[in-house]
Structure 1
Amino acid sequence: MKIVVTDCDHDSLAEERAVADAAGAELVVAPSGSADDVVATAAGADALVVQYARIDAALLDALPTVRAVGRYGVGVDTVDVAACTARGVAVCNVPDYGTESVSDHAIALALTAARRIAWMDRGVRDGTGGLAPVRPLHQVGGRVFGVVGLGLIGAATARKAAGLGYRVVAADARHEPGSTVGGIEVLALDDLLTRAHVVSLHLPLTDSTHHLIGAGELARMRPDAVVVNTSRGGVLDTTALVDALRSGRLHGAGLDVFEEEPLPPGHPLTTLDSAVLTPHLAWYSEESYGELKRRTVQNVVDVCAGRRPANVLNPEALDAAGGGSR
């Protein structure tokens, strides 16, 4: 069994190699995530493990022996799942590895943006600190925390926000407005936007969620609200957000993900005191990091061994994946 890591910026692959070795598999790392390098390295491979590289129909057609693609993480927006399914290639992710870490980070961003902690920190360092620049500030008690997307991470964020004293509401396309999920009141998205003091986004990036929060949605939010995004950058319209923050129409934003990553130096977001920015690291903790690495490789090992993996997005491909080369 040959497994190729298409691209990876981790400092070590020891966890992955341990899983591969236990399965008697060869683990090979491509020199880069470019299609040419991946095709050259993965000739004859049974599975691919991918971080950022794009897996599309052309690449799959050049690698007819591949039976599984494993993605480091939750989102698979760089993997053409339909193309994989059509070719009998199972697509695996690790949807729950970072639940606690990402929800921790979402809460940290919400509080930092709402209380303008980073802004105060810069003021102390450059000698301009004081109350006037950062007003108004509010306590948590009596504020409304809106969770958009009640998946594992959204639900964990809701639980932690409630523990801090927020009143938590949610919007989720899978649940009817007016219903209750886990004790959380479900609202229509427009209602949530007009009521919430924190709007925290926990959605995959799809055609239907791209720019779900745009200029119109931001305009409906309270002027004392903050928006938090730890999901995917494309869910939030960056240009509209910059305009809302720059005009003072919105109190603040806490962002771990961006439409362009890494965020380039001099980007308009970096000039705004009301924006708290972190470099797509909400997923990281020592605990989640090791779990992610082990489970990503174990998923593709299981597919290639003819077993059902713990996580597969297109189970209909499993029969074909277990049946040898395409």
Structure 2
Amino acid sequence: MTHRQRTPGQEYVVGLSSDVTAPDGSTIFGDVGLDRLTEAGLRWEVMPALAGHDPSAAELAPYDAVLSFGHWGYSREVVAAAPRLKHVARFGAGFDGIDLAGLAAEGVVVTNTPNGVRRPLALAAMTLLLALSHRLMDNGRAAAQGRWQDRGSYRGLGLAGRTVAIIGVGGVGTDLAQLIAPLGVRIVTVDRPSVRARQAAGELAGVELLSLEDLAARADYVVLTASLTPSSRHMVDADFLARMPRTSYVINVGRGPLIDQDALVEALRTGSIAGAGLDVLEQEPPAADDPLLTMDNVIVTPHALCWTADFVRDVSTSVVDALIDVAHNRPPTHPLN
């Protein structure tokens, strides 16, 4: 490993990714606590806008750390050529596009903010689950369009006695399971050694383990909270969707590419499944003519459903804590590598 220690007397500079940040440091999230960086002796500045690419070594070269709001990628080759960089701090939980092992080998620590994301994202998934189970959007449109006579046409599937499959029972998935268990649902997930180990440790009580194929065939609602990895990409594909009951729904608050979006559009068009709730898409932002945006049986939100006031507060505190800790050669709370 290359050791990138702070040079005594050298100014420690944090670059803010420019994807959601104005030149004055204001962000779409509001105040994220940059004054705490200043008070801790760190200087921050907004990085130059990128023209549709991940940051290059030259663009990273002036910085000791990057506060990465979006999903820029960081490869070992790039950070190897930016020897000043010591820390990539994700504002959020996702880390797809970051070569964790490669950056570790180069002495660059990567952190995220899982605790700040966990409950808000679980509640976002629950929001979509409740909205679909009660056909909230259909009923709302009927009222707004004066179609009061149609109010009996949009009876929801409901939740009591239904099977909810949660794919990805890390922090968010576990929180979601705990939130919906009192609603009288049956909760299932994919049978994996890691999940069995957690059950043996007393976690995930009452959650049934199934094969992916059986899960698809038996679930009334499939909720994706998993991370994106090479093995999870397009895990919900045409075969998976074909196994699902025609009355079932798919909800995705994880990453867009967990679902083969072309296959999903076809399943929704043909009525192979009843509908979908999507806070994430394969292409973000979507094309203006993306069919998912005009389907009555789909709820699409702009990868922001969990962005509540408590989300911003807790994630901001966590990411700034990590930046200050690494700058002062203290171990951060949530290292990924």
* Band the TM-score falls in, shorter-chain normalisation: 0.7 to 0.9
Task: Give yes or no for the alignment of 1:284 onto 2:307.
Answer: yes
Q: Matched residues in 2 for 1:102 and 1:311: separation?
A: 18
> Quick check: 1:150–1:172 contact (8 Å CA) kept in 2?
no
Match of 2:168 among 142, 149, 158: 149
For 1:5, the equivalent position in structure 2 comes to 16
Aligned-residue offset at 1:151? 0.8
Task: Give yes or no for the alignment of 1:138 onto 2:168.
Answer: no
For 1:195, the equivalent position in structure 2 comes to 218
For 2:260, the equivalent position in structure 1 comes to 237
- Alignment RMSD (CA, Å): 2.3
> Quick check: 1:31–1:37 contact (8 Å CA) kept in 2?
no
Aligned-residue offset at 1:14? 4.1
Match of 1:47 among 51, 65, 87: 65
Q: Which residues of 2 match residues 4-153 of structure 1 at below 5 A?
A: 4-9=15-20, 10-11=27-28, 14-34=31-51, 42-52=60-70, 53-128=72-147, 130=150, 134=154, 137-153=156-172
Aligned-residue offset at 1:237? 0.9
> Quick check: 1:3–1:26 contact (8 Å CA) kept in 2?
yes
Q: Matched residues in 1 for 2:65 and 2:38: separation?
A: 15
Aligned-residue offset at 1:207? 0.1
Query: Letter of the aligned partner of 1:234 in structure 2?
Result: P
> Quick check: 2:187–2:206 contact (8 Å CA) kept in 1?
no
The residue matched to 2:122 in structure 1 has which SS?
helix
> Quick check: 2:112–2:336 contact (8 Å CA) kept in 1?
yes
Aligned-residue offset at 1:128? 4.4
Aligned-residue offset at 1:184? 1.7
Q: TM-score, normalised by structure 1?
A: 0.88
The residue matched to 2:14 in structure 1 has which SS?
strand
Q: Matched residues in 2 for 1:281 and 1:36: separation?
A: 22
Q: Matched residues in 2 for 1:11 and 1:191: separation?
A: 41
For 1:15-54, what per-residue CA distance to the aligned partner results, in whole angstroms no more than 9, with x for missing partners?
3312312321111111324569775664342111112223
Q: Matched residues in 1 for 2:133 and 2:54: separation?
A: 46
Q: Matched residues in 2 for 1:246 and 1:147: separation?
A: 24
For 2:321, the equivalent position in structure 1 comes to 298
Aligned-residue offset at 1:284? 1.0
> Quick check: 1:32–1:38 contact (8 Å CA) kept in 2?
no
CA, structure 1 residues 36+109, in 2 after alignment: closer, same or farther (shift >3 Å)? closer
Aligned-residue offset at 1:225? 0.8
Q: Matched residues in 2 for 1:132 and 1:265: separation?
A: 32
Q: Matched residues in 1 for 2:293 and 2:106: separation?
A: 43
CA, structure 1 residues 12+287, in 2 after alignment: closer, same or farther (shift >3 Å)? closer
Q: Which residues of 2 match residues 155-166 of structure 1 at below 5 A?
A: 155-166=174-185
Q: Matched residues in 2 for 1:264 and 1:303: separation?
A: 39
For 2:195, the equivalent position in structure 1 comes to 175
Which of 1 and 2 has higher RCO (CA within 8 Å, sep 6+)?
1
Query: Letter of the aligned partner of 2:13 in structure 1?
Result: K
Q: Matched residues in 2 for 1:133 and 1:233: separation?
A: 31
Q: Matched residues in 2 for 1:12 and 1:214: separation?
A: 34
CA, structure 1 residues 150+12, in 2 after alignment: closer, same or farther (shift >3 Å)? closer
Aligned-residue offset at 1:125? 2.4
CA, structure 1 residues 230+100, in 2 after alignment: closer, same or farther (shift >3 Å)? same
Q: Matched residues in 2 for 1:49 and 1:33: separation?
A: 15
> Quick check: 2:278–2:298 contact (8 Å CA) kept in 1?
yes
Aligned length: 312
Unaligned runs of 5+ in 2: 1-11, 21-26
The residue matched to 1:97 in structure 2 has which SS?
helix
Query: Letter of the aligned partner of 2:119 in structure 1?
Result: E
The residue matched to 2:187 in structure 1 has which SS?
strand
For 2:7, the equivalent position in structure 1 comes to none
Q: Matched residues in 2 for 1:70 and 1:80: separation?
A: 13
My pick for the range that moved more, 76-85 or 55-64, is 55-64
My pick for the range that moved more, 17-26 or 168-177, is 168-177
> Quick check: 2:133–2:158 contact (8 Å CA) kept in 1?
no
The residue matched to 1:70 in structure 2 has which SS?
strand
Match of 1:252 among 275, 300, 322: 275
